[in-house]
C-alpha cells in the first residue's frame, strides 16, 4: 500500500506530479511499466526557465506516456523570469534570491515561486479535469503522487487542500535517490535535476555543470547581473555568479532541504 497523507478511501482522480527530475521520472515510468499502479493523468508545471536538457527529457517522457496511453498535460502560469523582473504584486514575492541582511550576513528573500508557478497551475488543472469551473465547489477527491524518496522525507508535506491528498510511492517502496538512478540506468534512462537555471538553491557542483553549457551559463549571468543591480544574488557569497568561487563545494550550504516545498527537482 502506498503511503498517503490522509484517508485511504479511493480518490475520484489520481494525478502524478511530474517535475521531470530523477525521482518523478522513476515514479512515472514505474507506473507506465506496471511496477506501480496506473494513474489517471501526469501533469508537468512549467516555469519556462528549466535547462534545455530538461525540456528534451520531457519530450521523451511525453512520447512514452503516449505509447502507454497516459494523458499528459503541460501547464504553465507563464514565464517566471519575466515575473521576477516585472512589477511585483503587493504582498507577493517571487524567488528567494540571496541578499544582505542588516547585520551584513547573507540572507534569503521570501519564496512564492513554487506556489505560483508549480502548485497553483497543477491544482487548476486538477479542477479542470474534474469538470469544475473557477468559482464552482469541488466535490471530487484527487490524489496527487509526488516523487520524493526516503533520503528526502523532510520534504514530505500534506496537501493544504481539503479535496486533495498527497502520496509518496517511492517512500513507501523505501527507495532513495541512488536507487532511482540505478533503476533508470537499468532501463536505458537518465534524468538530471529539474530546477530553474537560476535557482538559488543550486549547489556549486550544479553551477559548474551549467557553466560547462555556454548557452545556459549565458542565461545565468544575464539573470544574475539584473539581480545584482537591485542588491540580489544567485550565490550565497553575495558576489556576481561569474566571480563567485563555485569550485569550492564548502563555499555554499546545501540548501536543497528547503528546496521548493517538495515540488521542484524531483
**pLDDT band for position 135 (50/70/90)?**
confident
| Mean pLDDT confidence for 35-52 | 96
Domain ranges of the chain: 13-262
62-65, long-range: CB < 8 A, 24+ apart:
64/28, 64/29, 64/32, 65/28, 65/32
Cell of 167: 502520496
Of residues 142 and 86, the one with the higher pLDDT is 142
Helix (H) or strand (E) holding 83: helix 80-84
- Please give the sequence-ordered ranges of beta strands (E in DSSP) within 19-155, or none if there are none: 41-46, 72-76, 98-100, 106-108, 142-145
- What CATH number was assigned to the domain covering residues 13-262? 3.40.50
| Mean pLDDT confidence for 160-171 | 96
Q: What pTM value is reported for the model? A: 0.89
Q: What is the pLDDT of residue 44?
A: 97
Percentages helix, strand, coil for the chain, rounded to the nearest 5? 40, 10, 50
Amino acid at each position: 500500500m502506498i503511503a498517503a497523507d490522509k484517508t485511504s478511501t479511493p480518490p475520484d482522480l489520481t494525478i502524478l506530479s511530474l517535475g521531470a527530475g530523477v525521482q518523478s521520472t522513476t515514479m512515472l515510468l514505474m507506473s507506465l511499466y506496471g511496477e506501480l499502479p496506473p494513474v489517471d493523468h501526469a501533469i508537468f508545471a512549467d516555469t519556462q526557465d528549466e535547462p534545455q536538457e530538461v525540456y528534451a527529457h520531457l519530450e521523451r517522457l511525453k512520447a512514452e506516456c503516449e505509447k502507454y496511453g497516459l494523458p499528459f498535460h503541460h501547464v504553465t502560469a507563464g514565464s517566471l523570469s519575466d515575473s521576477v523582473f516585472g512589477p511585483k504584486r503587493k504582498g507577493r514575492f517571487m524567488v528567494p534570491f540571496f541578499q544582505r541582511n542588516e547585520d551584513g550576513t547573507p540572507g534569503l528573500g521570501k519564496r512564492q515561486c513554487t506556489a505560483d508557478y508549480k502548485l497553483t497551475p497543477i491544482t487548476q488543472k486538477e479542477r479542470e479535469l474534474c469538470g469544475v469551473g473557477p468559482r464552482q465547489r469541488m466535490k471530487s477527491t484527487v490524489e496527487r503522487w509526488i516523487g520524493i524518496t526516503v533520503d528526502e522525507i523532510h520534504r514530505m508535506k500534506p496537501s493544504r487542500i481539503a479535496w486533495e491528498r498527497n502520496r509518496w510511492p517511492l517512500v513507501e517502496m523505501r527507495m532513495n535517490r541512488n536507487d532511482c538512478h540505478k533503476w533508470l540506468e537499468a532501463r536505458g534512462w537518465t534524468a538530471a535535476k529539474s530546477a530553474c537555471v537560476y535557482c538559488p538553491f543550486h549547489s556549486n557542483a550544479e553551477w559548474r555543470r551549467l557553466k560547462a553549457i555556454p548557452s545556459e551559463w549565458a542565461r545565468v549571468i544575464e539573470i544574475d547581473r539584473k539581480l545584482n543591480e537591485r542588491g540580489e544574488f544567485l550565490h550565497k557569497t553575495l558576489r556576481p555568479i561569474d566571480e563567485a568561487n563555485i569550485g569550492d563545494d564548502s563555499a555554499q550550504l546545501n540548501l536543497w532541504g528547503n528546496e521548493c516545498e517538495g515540488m521542484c527537482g524531483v
